[in-house]
A and B are shown apart, each in its own frame.
Chain A
Amino acid sequence: MSGPDVAVSAEDLRRTFEGPDGRIIAVDGISMTARANELTAIVGPDGAGKTTLMRMMAGLLKPDAGSLHVLGIDVAADPQSVQNRISYMPQRFGLYEDLSVQENLDLYADLHGVPQEDRKERFKRMLEMTDMARFTDRPAGKLSGGMKQKLGLACTLVRSPDLLLLDEPSVGVDPLSRRDLWKIVQQLIQQERLGVIVSTAYMDEAERCAQVFVMNKGKLLAEGAPDVLKRRAEGLTFTAMPCEGMPARALQARLIDAPDLVIDAVPAGGSVRFIRQPDAEQGRLDALLDNAPVEPRAEELEDAFMMFLRTEEGRAETTTAPRKEPETPVADTVTDDGKPVIVVRDLVRKFGDFTAVASTSFDVARGEIFGLLGPNGAGKTTTFRMLCGLLPATSGHLEVAGLNLRHARAEARGRIGYVSQKFALYGDLSVRENLEFFGGAYGLRGKALRERVSASLEQFSLDPAARSGILPAGYKQRLAMATGLLHRPEILFLDEPTSGIDPLARRAFWRTITALAGSGVTIIVTTHFMEEAEYCDRIAIQDAGEVLALGTPRQVREQAGDAGIDMNSAFIAIVEQGRTARERKDRAA
């Protein structure tokens, strides 16, 4: 199985961990062969075992059973020989934040023994590729998230390895930095005939690879070239146009609620992309679509991937994604008076000399889903915190649920629910205890509290006795939502609610959100997944503290012009236009 053309070969590889709630099987009998000088992708949802597999290849974890050869060397027996020839970029690359960009590069060059005469040229090239030549003296801790990731890649590549391992290099990185990272990787493959193994949750990234391995729950579901894998969805993929006046997400909700007819449905570009079940009765499907015009579309890797996952999950009730009609929780105080629930006028926030949010204005209507998008460091989080009353504004007018946040911050907070990015839950408490605590914090007690808690448990299909700390990410996210909604708020704030959650759980999450909006709850959400913007009624794109685009997803795509074929490209185009305009203005000034 090994030879000069084989980068990695694994045979019945296994690895388990002792968790607090028993054994976790991270890698469960994987056999695979990745070819040298090629781009290989390992895709799979969160918790599939991708990172464990990568760490075993890097010689950082020993397999429990099976054999693993990297570059023809038995990794378990001689990890150092492998480490001398590979470069590995962990998911969270360990930059030394108090060292400068140059010092980080020097350190890794020294450790790898890159000769002084090669360094100058190599550093120059790395700094050019990452566009960081201007920042060599800046401490790594002061870089934005995307820049840190690029510097991590540069440190990994201070020398030319025989094999490059990248563990989810683009997780938590905005679309622009993601594109730049891939540009660097692809240049290197062409110029240095480098073998690369990359793990990712993004299908568009996997589509660029020569070979794709699909993993789920420690097992290999499928392998092959993207074109071959795609064929699984052949003839089943369609686009449906909703009728005039009907939001795409309403049609999407209807389709995804019929799992016996439809495998998957997502809103995209104002219409709904869906995959039908191969054995679905045409008549019933037509009835479900209710005369919405349907066109077939070319299948993509994403479609095949969703089919693999759905088959695996058995399309039945699972722990990660309950696909039942979510009951709509109704807010206590919802009365539609036609006035916007959130009014923002000329909002400014400065930290010292730095302007985090510059003169921002927008309104959000009742029952609307409003998306706040932007690259890392764009000012999203700052805007968000001001809206929640967690951070006072430097100047401007801010009204939430009819209350001015300058005067009635505490009162306004009682009307809003907040689910933070990290899901602020107490890991040592049970699900019920967490719910009771947060309910109590919002002033619920006695019978009212007990009733709300049991309603929440049922609504989000939660097990009251489970310990919160050891739940899977998708489950935790549901619990976090449940705690945020316990006091029946009028407005729900969600800060990157779907990062680190697998695609099935994300579908279920958005289904709940659209149902909530239908019942009159206003939703403000930030996200890194551009395709999720399609669920929103309106979105705002922020960069460097300024709002660059504001409107419905369709309007925003149109603003991007020709580039706006999908939300991801539209986003990149708008942010880049904004940046050139700003540079021009700076130069003029």
Chain B
Amino acid sequence: MSGSGFSRRLIALTRKEARQMLRDRSNLIVGLLLPLVLILLFGYGLSFDVKDARVTVVMEDSSPTARNIVAGLQGSPYLAPSWTMSMAEAERMIRAGESDAILRVPPDFSRRLASGNARLQLLLNGVDSNTASVIEGYVGGAIALPMQQLADRTGDNPTETGSVVIVQRMWFNEAGESTWYLVPGLIVLVMTLIGAFLTSLLVAREWERGTLESLFVTPVRPLELVLAKLAPYVLIGGIDLIMCLLAAKYLFQVPMRGSLWVIVVSSLLYLMVSLALGLFISAATRNQFAASQVALLTSFMPAMMLSGFVFDLRNMPVLIQVISQILPATHFMGLIKTLFMAGDYWPDILRNCAILVLYTVVLIGLARRSLRKKLD
């Protein structure tokens, strides 16, 4: 009796939740359309790569040697140099936001080059420090090559003062493409979003509309309520996951070096954590507005800022690092990025999945507790 009662009630409740979800169009907009928008926005719109950086070159020395040195700037796809003779003009441009950097070739450049202590001045617009340091790297790279060639031609040994040459290689993300690490992170954001925006409203809505009171005085058990509420949203999350994976592979050509099934299983685990957290917040606040605010502040915003999605956690103060370690999103963020770009690394996979399973069990337990059939 009790066994069949459980499944009968669970089916009835799940059917009810699914119908409610499908009939409220805003659910589908937030659950399916918003993730699609996020994918396109983050994939195409947000990028830390700098292309066509505007560098103003001030040629105070117009000797062929000097021209030769800065000519390298023109060949780079990342730089869009412009030329001027006046430093004042260049300064005006950078102030007016027409230029991102000034490369100044001083009048005594050729003369000092001959004596081996030539100097170029690079002024960067530090308003956006991230872009500034990227441009610094580009300009340095663009000038290094002609300098090398010049040295070869004149026979001078450029490594006279130090004999170490550094050969750089970036591993896992060879081209340093930011979409490669943003797109896997998007899976974390999208899974978080469903919990924060959809399941966080479910129980609170029933409190506000008074439907829970009627439901409580039936043979229904709290666990049945929790599971029935999760089920339809696991489906939505699954569809979103497929969208993310397809976009990663075909739109953004992000490598998937880990096994697909590990990516899927760990993503679904994190989805469960996110949904259960939303449900618990909803049951604890009993108010839709409060629930969505709390969910936004405790899950979506931290997942965006403190999980290592964009900002490197190691640069943050210790307290923030501790908080970030409490967030389930941080553990999944590390795991999914590794899975996409580095491949299966089992100790990491097992540890993080174990953490996610623990969170799921604890949060479902809490949600169930806060749905005990009591009105006070």
Contacts and interface: CB of A to CB of B under 8 A. Distances in A.
Interface of A: 17, 55, 58-62, 79-80, 83-84, 86-90, 92-99, 103, 106-108, 110-113, 152, 155-156
Contact of B214 (A79, A93, A99): A93
B219 interface: yes
Contact of B16 (A55, A80, A89, A107): A107
A113 B7 CA distance: 11
A94 B210 contact: yes
Contact of B12 (A62, A92, A98, A106): A106
Contacts of B11: 110
A60 B217 contact: yes
A77 B374 CA distance: 13
Nearest to B22: A98
Nearest to B11: A110
Nearest to A92: B210
Interface in B106-157: none
B219 A61 contact: no
B23 interface: yes
Interface residues of B, number: 29
B213 A94 contact: yes
Given A60-B374, A110-B8, A111-B12, A97 B215 contact: no
A90 B213 contact: yes
A346 to B, nearest CB: 39
Contacts, number: 85
B376 interface: yes
25 contacts: A59-B217, A60-B213, A60-B216, A60-B373, A62-B374, A79-B373, A90-B214, A93-B214, A94-B206, A94-B210, A94-B212, A94-B213, A96-B20, A96-B211, A98-B19, A98-B23, A98-B24, A107-B15, A108-B218, A110-B9, A112-B218, A113-B5, A113-B8, A113-B219, A155-B214
Contacts of B209: 94, 97
A116 B304 CA distance: 50
Contacts of B219: 80, 83-84, 111-113
A483 B20 CA distance: 41
A30 B20 CA distance: 41
Nearest to B12: A110
A412 B157 CA distance: 94
B12 A94 contact: no
A112 B9 CA distance: 8
Interface in B205-248: 206, 209-220
Contacts of A61: 374-376
B373 A93 contact: no
Given A59-B217, A113-B9, 12 more contacts: A60-B217, A83-B219, A83-B373, A87-B217, A88-B214, A90-B210, A90-B214, A95-B211, A96-B211, A99-B19, A111-B219, A113-B5
Nearest to A159: B218
Contacts of A99: 16, 19-20
B220 to A, nearest CB: 6
Interface string B360-376: 00000000000001111
A111 B9 CA distance: 5
Interface string B11-29: 1110110011001100000
B16 A103 contact: yes
